[in-house]
Structure 1
């Protein structure tokens, strides 16, 4: 390999990211509209090209390197850790009435929206709730917004709740798994279209290893360690 080929290949991997199949029809629609705009006015054509590229970028599905240490809880979404609170989990998750730690990851319209399983186990519960479309960064979005809730149980019996929450722009939550399905840690289990949030409910006594404001990467960022609950971390923005 010549000296200039490796940097070129690395650049192509960054730019030519694979797209999830859920995005194909949307990119096709954007492209078709762009062609129609070209017949109306050339500047509109270029705006359409930009929108089509953005749509492709929105549905990107990059390869992730998944940590395999037993007991790790990974972020199910790309985005910013927006909230860390002790709350009672939604009843449909069957996690009891005692408060547990909830870690919320907010995704804007520029984040990758493919959702990945935070832990390996079996999907025991799935419950879909219709609701509002408030800004997903609001705390009350967990209760009022449209959402899809999953409870995953590990082989050791630990239960993790993960909730896909529709946001201000999002109008469609997609879930690829069913009750009873086994999932691998980092396994793609769903997708939310156009801005949203995911909540992860940790088992009682487990503290998060991330801080509010921290950037999370789906399938790579460690939210918690069930084998070493420890104490919650603190962060300083600089």
Structure 2
């Protein structure tokens, strides 16, 4: 397991904060043993939490044919037909994966193909499970066209804690399945919009792994 590049600055700032905090506690409360140890333990817990959030575990990524691979780690919170109004402007099958702060937050391409559309939207920071977060929160929209001509839309959505969405793709890029297309810092969500009638292998509340769990299959 390695640390993702998006975590370097945050980890460095966390270490600086921990160092300064512990130095102040040692200087001002040298005789209060219980307080010093409480701060030591809390500092260690904070550092481990930040470290695990930016972990980048080694995985045997899944690829192949018309398979659709889950774009993120987390729990499936939505599987339903809905109106997609930004790009398709018609009915689509929406699958949403909620990422808690303890999940790996790397986002991966669910299919291989060509990026036909990309747009970043500044916005609010509603809780990621709020239905309005799909249209009102900070988010990105990516549409990749598969080799068989089927376009798939996936959307990074910031949550109540997330304050930065990172993306690595642009229109015209040729992307590989299960390779990174972005990263969201702290709790968040990824939506994927598929043609109505697409075979989906997931169930609500199922825990999935990005780049590994097979979401479904394109017709």
**TM-score (structure 2 length as normaliser):** 0.91
1:62 is displaced (CA, Å) by 1.3
Question: In structure 2, what is the equivalent of residue 53 of structure 1?
Answer: 48
Q: Where does structure 1 lack aligned partners over 5 or more consecutive residues?
A: 1-16, 228-238
1:106 aligns with 2:71: no
Worse-matched range after superposition: 187-196 or 47-56:
47-56
The structure with the largest strand share of the pair is 2
Distance in 2 between residues matched to 1:107 and 1:78, nearest whole Å: 6
Which consecutive unaligned segments of at least 5 residues does structure 2 have?
26-35
2:181 aligned with 1:189, yes or no? Answer: yes
Confirm whether residue 76 of structure 1 aligns to residue 71 of structure 2: yes
Q: 2:210 aligns with which of 202, 218, 231?
A: 218
Structure 1 residues 1-238: aligned runs within 5 Å: 17-41=1-25, 42=36, 43-91=38-86, 94-95=87-88, 97-227=89-219
* Residue 102 of structure 1, CA deviation: 0.3
Count, aligned residues: 208
| Distance in 1 separating the partners of 2:185 and 2:81 | 28
RMSD: 1.2
- Helix, strand or coil: the match of 2:127? coil
Runs (4+) of structure 1 exceeding 4 A deviation are none
Name the CA distance, whole Å, in 1 between partners of 2:64 and 2:6: 30
Residue in 1 that maps onto 2:32: none
Measure how far apart 1:176 and its partner are: 1.0
CA contact (8 A) 2:53 2:102 kept: yes
Tell me by how many angstroms 1:67 deviates: 2.0
3-state secondary structure, aligned to 1:185? coil
Listed one character per residue, the Cα deviations across residues 60-94 of structure 1 (whole Å, up to 9, x for unaligned) are 11122222220010111100001111112231xx3
Worse-superposed segment, 38-47 or 179-188: 38-47
Partner of 2:31: none
In the alignment, is the contact (CA less than 8 A) between 1:136 and 1:167 conserved in 2? yes
